[in-house]
Amino acid sequence: MSSSAAPRYPLVLVPGLLGFISLLGYPYWYGIVSALRRLGARVFPVLVSSVHSSEVRGEQLLLRIGEILQQTGAEKVHLIGHSQGALTARYVAALRPEWVASVTSVAGPNHGSELADFLQRKAPHGSLRERLLAFLLRAVARCMAWLERGYTGPPLPMDVAAAQQSLTSAGVAAFNAQYPQGLPESWGGEGAAEVAGVRYYSWSGTLQAGITDKDGNRFDGPNVACRLFARTFRREAGQCDGMVGRYSSHLGTVIGDSYPLDHFDIVNQTFGLVGKGADPVRLFVEHAQRLQAAGL
Ligand code: CA
């Protein structure tokens, strides 16, 4: 059983594109799983295909949740998805709401990623650039699968084109038409707090000059990458975390959408190196307390 200070239902953490559980002992949810466990929560960082559509990843997540429910005897789980993990969680909640107490989107591209749109424009289907990018992505994913130590299931399939399609604004719009649960009705608004018995929440960050590029992030390569990626944004120029726009991340109750965190900081990467005054782990702990206070 979980302690009385912890959420009643297990927390299932779903990673994004190129996600992992533990690479040679190095965790995706850096310092987050341990902080949640200190609270007394039952926490399951899971793996789904690191490169694939949100629907295929969602089907894999459904199987994994079935196992977790059986293992724990819990009636439901909380799903917390980072980046594409949020879309993966939303798919599951749409199909099996009775299994899901809440879906929380952490920097989820719930209306698509303008970075994915940019890549699609610059490396269109059938182009040499597209083939090169796909080759690199597959190579990185295979290398990560080889280093993965936290996953014991069967090999997971990979489909670069399906992953790309699942992250563009047009691709996510098609996904949203089928799985609209928790989405805001207007751009920049909040979504329903609860749909079919499932609570929906989201939080995200933005790049903030003089803050997110300071302290630990001065030595962190992914922050430099996010600052480069941010230049590809048009609709949400100056209002993104490098990979996902502030309003694009909105789902259900918006806990916050402008924390000083880039797309990797928000899961405390890398090695806890984040910008000035940032504390991404605290957001997870507070959220677990929020769920517990709601009786979930
Ligand atoms: Ca960082």
Q: Ligand 1 center to residue 4 CA distance, Å? A: 33
The residue written with tokens 């079935």 in the block is 66
Using a pLDDT cut of 90, give the percent of the chain over it: 98
Q: Ligand 1 center to residue 251 CA distance, Å? A: 24
Q: Which residues pair with 198 in a beta bridge?
A: 195
The counts of H helices and E strands in the chain are 9, 9
139, exposed or middle or buried, with CB in 10 Å at 0-12, 13-18, 19+?
exposed
Residue 196 pLDDT > 60, yes or no? yes
Q: Ligand 1 center to residue 281 CA distance, Å? A: 13
Query: Where is 80: in which H helix or E strand?
Result: strand 77-82
Q: Ligand 1 center to residue 162 CA distance, Å? A: 28
Residue 1: the pLDDT is 47
What range defines the domain where residue 130 resides? 3-293
Q: Ligand 1 center to residue 229 CA distance, Å? A: 14
- Predicted confidence (pLDDT) per residue in 250-292, tens digit: 999 999 999 999 999 999 999 999 999 999 999 999 999 999 9
- Predicted confidence (pLDDT) per residue in 121-130, tens digit: 999 999 999 9
Instruction: Report the C-alpha gap between 85 and 35 in whole angstroms.
Output: 20
Domain of 261: which CATH number? 3.40.50.1820
Confidence of residue 5 (pLDDT cuts 50, 70, 90): confident
Q: Indicate the SS3 state at residue 282.
A: helix
Q: Indicate the SS3 state at residue 234.
A: coil
Number of domains forming the structure of the chain: 1
Instruction: Report the C-alpha gap between 275 and 216 in whole angstroms.
Output: 6
Q: Ligand 1 center to residue 192 CA distance, Å? A: 31
Q: Ligand 1 center to residue 17 CA distance, Å? A: 17
Q: Which positions are catalytic?
A: 83, 241, 263
Q: How far is CA 165 from CA 4, 96, 160, 206, 268, in A?
A: 42, 24, 9, 24, 27
Confidence of residue 3 (pLDDT cuts 50, 70, 90): low
Mean pLDDT taken over the chain: 97
Residue 68 pLDDT > 80, yes or no? yes
Residue 4: the pLDDT is 73
